Amino acid sequence: MENLMTESVMIDMNEGTEEYILQEKDHGDLVVFDIYHNDHYLLTLAKDGSILFMNFNADEKDKEIFKLSHLNQFAERIQAVEQR
């Protein structure tokens, strides 16, 4: 596995803006994007924005990011990375 890119993403939440980390990783046969909040793994997205894995054991506050409106922001960021 090779880390390709790490980027900070600011998401507007109910309690204010939160910083999330988007890490692009190459597993050889698949490039994925892992999302972290405060060093806690939350989920993995594919290049097309589809959800591959979700950490359902995450804190309830962290699960707020699983809402489609928030995930769309990550999908848009991933598409921007792929167009570079």
pLDDT tens readout for residues 8-65: 999 988 888 999 999 999 988 889 999 999 999 999 999 888 899 999 999 988 899 9
Q: Where are the domains of the chain?
A: 2-83
- Output the pLDDT for position 18: 92
> Do 29 and 68 form a contact (C-beta atoms < 8 A)?
no
> Do 26 and 2 form a contact (C-beta atoms < 8 A)?
yes
pLDDT tens readout for residues 64-80: 999 988 899 999 888 88
Q: How many CB atoms lie within 10 A of CB 35?
A: 24
| pTM, full prediction | 0.88
Residues 82 and 84: their CA atoms lie apart, in Å, by 6
